[in-house]
Amino acid sequence: MFDLPGAERELETMRSVIAAEQEGFVRENVGAALDIFLRRRDSA
């Protein structure tokens, strides 16, 4: 894929998209973990 003509021009865009997806994934998982923690704490 990186050997395709013009790939260098899109490399930064691809990196930005990947970074944004990872950040969103982490944010969702941290939010879910916090919800579980609070639910368990409140039910104890």
Domain assignment present for 2 = no
> Kindly report the CA angle at 37 between 34 and 43, in degrees rounded to 5?
140
Tokens of 23: 């950040």
Residue 39: what pLDDT?
93
Residue 1: what pLDDT?
54
Q: pLDDT, tens digit, for every residue of 1-44?
A: 557 777 778 888 888 888 888 888 888 888 899 999 999 999 97
Domain that holds residue 32: 7-42
Q: Tell me how far apart the 2 most distant CA atoms of the chain are, in Å.
A: 60
Domain assignment present for 35 = yes
Question: Alpha-carbon distance 42 to 36, whole Å?
Answer: 10
Q: How many domains does the chain have?
A: 1
- Cα 3 from chain centroid? 26
The model carries a pTM of 0.49
Residue 18: what pLDDT?
83
